[in-house]
């Protein structure tokens, strides 16, 4: 049996050899409170080289607990050391809470990632009514292609791309491309004032709870999807675009029917 001392005498890595089997694990405790172990079994290494030991170099038990001395390796008495245990437990509880929080955040992120719609995926089913009173669905929108743009007035990149998106709309609205803005502002008046002030003429729908965005897995703004009449997502644009640039225009117009 061999012990490796770590963090004074609080945590030890242990290798116990029983015949051809070795058990590796961690031992928690001290000389007063006894030992608690977490171990797993594996074949015993025949080499005597300490670097071959999967838990590190071996030390005699006396290096961890020197007889019945009331002093620990740190120089504190066992009574003094015992007084630090509540603080140690508090730190462990805080660490556990942090780890649980991180796990919960990862779970939310992972669930959102699984729902994210990408180019080539079918569009989620939806039906919205625009500010002009028009009903729009993923397969019925009055054109060949539907460009769905998620935006908010509190999002600077969204505001930056609005002039070029409006210009694109005016240039291609008679060529089969329908632009639909989906605004997620909390205050409807803020969104309406901006649309009026900026001279936006493409249709918008108001979605303060971001219900439609949740269907697409959209949580960053702006984000835009190009959908055909079969309800298939052809392109996805993450972040602001210059909608009049030749590259962006080509990504959209190449999906229009030829002739």
> Under CATH, what is the fold of the domain 127-253?
Glutaredoxin (3.40.30)
Shortest CA distance to 8 belongs to which of 78, 47, 67, 64?
Answer: 64
b vs e for 158-197, b when ≥16 Cβ sit within 10 Å of the residue's Cβ? bbebbebbbebbeebbeeebbbbbbbbbeeeeebbebbee
Over its length of 259 residues, how does the chain's per-residue pLDDT go in tens digits? 443 444 344 444 444 444 444 444 444 444 444 434 343 444 333 333 434 444 444 434 344 334 444 444 455 555 555 555 566 777 777 777 877 777 666 555 545 444 799 999 999 999 999 999 999 999 999 999 999 999 999 999 999 999 999 999 999 999 999 999 999 999 999 999 999 999 999 999 999 999 999 999 999 999 999 999 999 999 999 999 999 999 999 999 999 998 6
CA-closest candidate to residue 217, choices 127, 120, 147, 112:
112
pLDDT of res. 94: 78
Per-residue pLDDT, 140? 96
Q: How far is CA 140 from CA 127, 129, 169, 205, in A?
A: 9, 12, 18, 15
Give residues with Cβ within 8 angstroms of 73, minimum separation 6: 5, 8, 9
160 SS3 class: helix
Cis peptide preceding 222, ω within 30 of 0: yes
The whole-angstrom separation of Cα 255 and Cα 253 is 5
In a 10 Å sphere around its CB, with 0-12 CB exposed, 13-18 middle and 19+ buried, how is residue 252 labelled? buried
Within 13 Å, how many C-alpha atoms sit on residue 37's CB side?
Answer: 11
Burial degree of 242 (CB within 10 A; 0-12, 13-18, 19+): middle
For the chain, the structural domain boundaries read: 2-89, 127-253
Helix (H) or strand (E) holding 227: strand 223-228
Cβ atoms 119, 236 nearer than 8 A: yes
Helix (H) or strand (E) holding 104: helix 85-115
Contact 152, 177 (CB under 8 A): no
């Amino acid at each position: 049996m061999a012990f490796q001392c770590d963090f004074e005498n609080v945590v030890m890595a242990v290798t116990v050899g029983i015949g051809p089997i070795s058990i590796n694990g961690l031992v928690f405790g001290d000389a007063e409170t006894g030992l608690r172990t977490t171990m797993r079994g594996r074949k015993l290494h025949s080499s005597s080289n300490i670097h071959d030991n999967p838990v590190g170099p071996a030390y005699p038990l006396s290096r961890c607990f020197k007889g019945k001395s009331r002093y620990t390796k740190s120089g504190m008495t066992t009574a003094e050391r015992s007084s630090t245990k509540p603080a140690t437990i508090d730190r462990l509880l805080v660490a556990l809470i942090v780890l649980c929080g991180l796990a919960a955040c990862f779970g939310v992120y992972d669930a959102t990632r699984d729902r994210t719609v990408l180019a080539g995926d079918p569009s989620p089913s939806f039906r919205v009514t625009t500010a002009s009173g028009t009903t729009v669905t993923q397969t019925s929108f009055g054109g060949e292609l539907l460009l769905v743009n998620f935006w908010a007035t509190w999002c600077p990149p969204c505001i930056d791309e609005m002039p070029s998106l409006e210009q694109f709309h005016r240039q291609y609205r008679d060529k089969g491309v329908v632009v639909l803005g989906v605004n997620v502002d909390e205050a409807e008046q803020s969104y309406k004032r901006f649309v009026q002030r900026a001279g936006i003429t493409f249709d918008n729908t108001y979605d303060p709870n971001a219900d439609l965005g949740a269907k697409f897995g959209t949580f960053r703004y702006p984000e835009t999807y190009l959908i055909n009449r079969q309800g298939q997502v052809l392109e996805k644009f993450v972040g602001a675009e210059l909608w009049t640039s030749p590259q962006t225009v080509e990504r959209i117009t190449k999906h229009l029917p030829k002739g």
